[in-house]
Structure 1
């Protein structure tokens, strides 16, 4: 069962509803398309935090809340109409995205380990150099009291 239905009859019914809703509506919006304006507003706040006045922040926050409400409403309506499944993609697509994210995470962990090892090596060299400086400083005090 591709859409999480418990039996074939409900799966067929859901598929019929999806196909009928696709015929009725020419264009459907995906969740990612709804996230774009919200991300733009967040970037606007992050990039110009020094130049915005409180009234500008209030306006941007109101607009972000409105966009969030539009997104939530669209997701709720899509779930009722059976369009949510089409906007999310197939199970294989989602699984591939998850696998790619796991691979990226593994690469980042390896880089983190390498960086941590380089840092430890640098700290060790720094301590050795500091000890040498202290030793030379004591030698200077002995020679030139």
Structure 2
């Protein structure tokens, strides 16, 4: 498919034909695509959305608040649950302050972000867990 979309412009329409050896092969997909099927797609490129840098699933568009944890922790109890985290991230994306990777399940991205911050796996993120790796307390070893 990616070969058929190369150099496509916004507003352009194309018919992309994918032969069996580049599609589902002789086996097909049981109950959905017969074996040796030639796939035909009529495509119109409506919008081109820039992706994120390699390896990123979320980026901030601008400066990150120094009080980020407090902003996410709406009820002020010192712990952020997945629901609070998800609501905050989606609000940032909706307002244009943040961007999730296009073409991926947004809820899965947010859940993975939360799980990454929940370092002890207890289902909530504390201020200490939330610190970025470069902000973590460092100690000298002898």
When the two structures are superposed, what TM-score results if normalisation uses the length of structure 2? 0.24
Of structures 1 and 2, the one scoring higher in RCO (CA 8 A, sep 6+) is 1
When the two structures are superposed, what TM-score results if normalisation uses the length of structure 1? 0.24
Higher strand share: 2
- Which structure has the bigger radius of gyration? 1
